[in-house]
């Protein structure tokens, strides 16, 4: 008997292509989608470089050196932003940064001030450190970690080289330790270091942990100060600044990768190079130390991480989650509602209605309106709840929300009715809806944030409603763009709603034929 029951199940499965699709094809399809996303998107730090926009109003020597160092990093793809009008204008830089942010073409933007000079002398002259701004929209925490680590490494290395130069200067003043004239200690990263000698180089004899940067006097006992080469410098940096390197490898274990950094704090100077922190804690106790401190510039650079989207908001990303989940369930709810057409057709209720005063156009129009209003209501309930419980500032973004809710519901209603019109039975609709909606949601960003996807996946996602809807909601709740900036999303969603309505009308003739 059990074999007979087993055979029944097998036969039913074999005779139902949709069931086969759900059982065998759907998992493979989903695996492929997620594999594409995870292998080419989320692993952006290894395979996909961070897209860094450079807002450089003036090509000073310090700026060139910094940008050259950034460009050397394989994990960073640098693009200089075009500045409109006069280069030396704060306004043109601000505009360029805003344009770059709105374009979503960059993970981060590095903004240098006018007359950028990161030397200690400049800091001493102006009485404040040079300020480097790292502007993020809070989406890609990995990019923030990579770029700030790179910056910290650059300044740590430069700091080390400055220290070495000071050391060399001290040594050269000492008759016992005068280095040979061929010794070269590089002052800046941009200048090539001398080729390492074949002989193994001794380590600089330093304690493994330093409460503060070693002073030249402390490292007098080095064996061959005249051969302080790059290899040694690297070792010294490792000893000197372990937190910086650690951060490069493990950006932020506690941070939510999808969360905007500094979400509760608009700006921060926590990215100040660690070496500067050491120096600020150190108490120079000798003239030599004081000279070295001055030369190296204790607070000569300040890296400021700015997240304009986080300004004054408690939970901007919750709105994205609300949108993602809402759109996913909206698609399911709308399709389920549209499926009543199939129920009515199967029961003969549709025939009864078609034989009454109501024409097919009125029936479809009524159905569309019902699904549309239900969709608007569903989105409203979701966002009101998110606002009350998680504080997504719905009231502040009410205009944008209404626009996006209406457009999303319109498109979703059209999609649901078209799908119901094309399907022959409720079972067929359920299976087709599951395949299509889950696929659209996976590539469209309802399941995995779009910003972790590769460009190709993002482009692919644009064939789904989810992507356009989520991009729109993101603009509203995250970027707070003006309503006019939503025109692309509005046009696509309403356009597709219109196209699908026309297709529904074309294919709906079968309802009247009863097939």
Partner 1 sequence: MIDRASPILRLDSVRKSWRGREALRGISLELYPGELLGFFGPNGAGKTTMIRCIAGLVAPDAGKIELRVPEGYSGSKTIRPGLVPQNIAVYPDLTVRQNLEVFGRLEGVSRKLLRERIPEVLEWAALADRAESLAKTLSGGMQRRLNISCSVLHRPAVLLLDEPTVGVDPQSRERIYAMMQQLKEHGTAVLITTHQLEEVETRCDRIVVIDHGTIVAEGQLEDLIQKSLGLPHRVVLEFARAVEDELPGFEMDDQRTAAVCRLADMQQLPGILGVLSKLSQAPSRIDVRSYGLQDVFLALTGRSLRE
Contacting positions for partner 1 (CB under 8 A): 344, 346-349, 351-358, 512-515
Closest approach of Cβ 310 to partner 1, in Å? 47
For partner 1, give the closer residue by CB, 206 or 354: 354
- Asked if 329 and 438 touch (Cβ cutoff 8 Å), the reply is no
Closest approach of Cβ 446 to partner 1, in Å? 30
Helix (H, G, I), strand (E, B) or coil at 359: coil
For partner 1, give the closer residue by CB, 173 or 357: 357
For partner 1, give the closer residue by CB, 291 or 360: 360
For partner 1, give the closer residue by CB, 126 or 347: 347
Query: Using CA atoms, how far apart are residues 381 and 386, in angstroms rounded to an integer?
Result: 8
Closest approach of Cβ 362 to partner 1, in Å? 9
Closest approach of Cβ 334 to partner 1, in Å? 19
Query: Using CA atoms, how far apart are residues 81 and 111, in angstroms rounded to an integer?
Result: 10
Q: Residue ranges of the alpha helices (H) in 269-359?
A: 274-281, 287-296, 316-338, 340-347, 349-354
For partner 1, give the closer residue by CB, 28 or 515: 515
Closest approach of Cβ 346 to partner 1, in Å? 7
Two structure tokens written together for 16: 């139902």
For partner 1, give the closer residue by CB, 107 or 344: 344
Closest approach of Cβ 258 to partner 1, in Å? 41
Q: Which residues contact 307 (CB under 8 A, 6 or more apart)?
A: 135, 136, 137, 138, 260, 261, 262, 263, 266, 267
Closest approach of Cβ 40 to partner 1, in Å? 47
Query: Using CA atoms, how far apart are residues 341 and 402, in angstroms rounded to an integer?
Result: 28
Closest approach of Cβ 336 to partner 1, in Å? 14
Two structure tokens written together for 287: 């003239």
For partner 1, give the closer residue by CB, 487 or 512: 512
Query: Using CA atoms, how far apart are residues 60 and 456, in angstroms rounded to an integer?
Result: 36
For partner 1, give the closer residue by CB, 176 or 357: 357
- Residue identified by tokens 């097939």 is 515
Count of CB atoms within 10 A of residue 322's CB? 23
For partner 1, give the closer residue by CB, 281 or 356: 356
- Asked if 475 and 481 touch (Cβ cutoff 8 Å), the reply is yes
- Residue identified by tokens 């903004």 is 111
Chain-centroid distance of CA 401 in Å reads 22
Two structure tokens written together for 367: 């159905």
For partner 1, give the closer residue by CB, 196 or 359: 359
Q: Which residues contact 351 (CB under 8 A, 6 or more apart)?
A: 345, 514
Chain-centroid distance of CA 492 in Å reads 24
Query: Using CA atoms, how far apart are residues 194 and 231, in angstroms rounded to an integer?
Result: 11
Closest approach of Cβ 363 to partner 1, in Å? 9
- Asked if 52 and 144 touch (Cβ cutoff 8 Å), the reply is no
- Asked if 156 and 325 touch (Cβ cutoff 8 Å), the reply is no
DSSP state of 348: T
- Burial of 258 per CB tally in 10 Å (0-12, 13-18, 19+): middle
For partner 1, give the closer residue by CB, 202 or 509: 509
Closest approach of Cβ 357 to partner 1, in Å? 4
Closest approach of Cβ 11 to partner 1, in Å? 23
Two structure tokens written together for 192: 């090539």
- Asked if 330 and 409 touch (Cβ cutoff 8 Å), the reply is yes
For partner 1, give the closer residue by CB, 304 or 343: 343
Closest approach of Cβ 420 to partner 1, in Å? 17
Query: Using CA atoms, how far apart are residues 236 and 253, in angstroms rounded to an integer?
Result: 25
Helix (H) or strand (E) holding 204: none
């Amino acid at each position: 008997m059990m074999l007979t029951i087993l055979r029944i199940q097998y036969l039913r499965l074999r005779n139902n292509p949709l069931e086969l699709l759900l059982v065998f094809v759907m998992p493979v399809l989903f695996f492929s989608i997620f594999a594409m996303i995870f292998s080419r998107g989320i692993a952006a730090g290894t395979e996909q470089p961070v897209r860094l926009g450079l807002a450089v109003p003036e090509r000073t020597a310090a700026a060139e050196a910094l940008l050259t160092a950034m460009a050397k990093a394989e994990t960073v793809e640098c693009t200089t932003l075009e500045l409109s009008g006069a280069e030396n204008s704060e306004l043109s830089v601000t505009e360029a940064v805003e344009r770059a942010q709105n374009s979503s073409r960059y993970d981060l933007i590095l903004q240098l001030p006018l007359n950028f000079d990161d030397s200690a002398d400049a800091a001493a002259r102006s009485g404040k450190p040079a300020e480097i701004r790292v502007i993020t929209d809070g989406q890609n925490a990995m990019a923030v970690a990579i770029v700030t680590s790179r910056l910290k490494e650059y300044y740590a290395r430069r700091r080390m080289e400055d220290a070495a130069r000071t050391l060399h200067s001290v040594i050269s003043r000492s008759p016992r330790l005068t280095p040979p004239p061929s010794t070269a200690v590089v002052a800046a990263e941009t200048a090539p270091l001398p080729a390492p000698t074949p002989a193994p180089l001794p380590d600089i004899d330093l304690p493994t942990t330093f409460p503060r940067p070693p002073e030249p006097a402390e490292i007098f006992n080095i064996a061959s100060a005249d051969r302080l080469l790059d290899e040694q410098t690297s070792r010294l940096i490792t000893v000197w600044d372990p937190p910086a390197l650690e951060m490069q490898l493990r950006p932020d274990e506690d941070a939510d990768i999808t969360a905007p950094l500094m979400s509760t704090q608009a700006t921060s100077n926590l990215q100040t190079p660690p070496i500067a922190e050491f120096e600020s804690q150190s108490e120079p106790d000798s003239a030599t130390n004081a000279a070295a401190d001055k030369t190296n510039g204790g607070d000569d650079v300040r890296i400021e991480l700015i997240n304009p989207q986080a300004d004054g908001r408690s939970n901007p990303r919750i709105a994205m989650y609300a949108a993602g989940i809402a759109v996913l369930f909206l698609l399911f709810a709308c399709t389920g509602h549209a499926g009543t057409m199939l129920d009515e057709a199967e029961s003969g209720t549709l025939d009864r209605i078609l034989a009454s005063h109501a024409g097919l156009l009125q029936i479809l129009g009524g159905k569309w309106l019902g699904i549309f209003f239900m969709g608007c209501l569903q989105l409203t309930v979701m966002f009101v709840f998110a606002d009350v419980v998680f504080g997504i500032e719905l009231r502040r973004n009410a205009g944008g929300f209404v626009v996006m809710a209406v457009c999303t519901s319109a498109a979703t209603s059209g999609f649901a009715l078209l799908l119901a019109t094309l399907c022959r039975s409720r079972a067929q609709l359920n299976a087709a809806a599951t395949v299509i909606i889950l696929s659209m949601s996976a590539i469209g960003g309802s399941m995995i944030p779009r910003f972790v996807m590769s460009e190709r996946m993002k482009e692919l996602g644009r064939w789904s409603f989810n992507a356009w809807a989520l991009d729109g909601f993101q603009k509203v709740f995250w970027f707070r763009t003006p309503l006019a900036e939503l025109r692309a999303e509005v046009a696509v969603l309403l356009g597709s709603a219109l196209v699908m309505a026309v297709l529904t009308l074309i294919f709906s003739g079968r309802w009247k034929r009863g097939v």
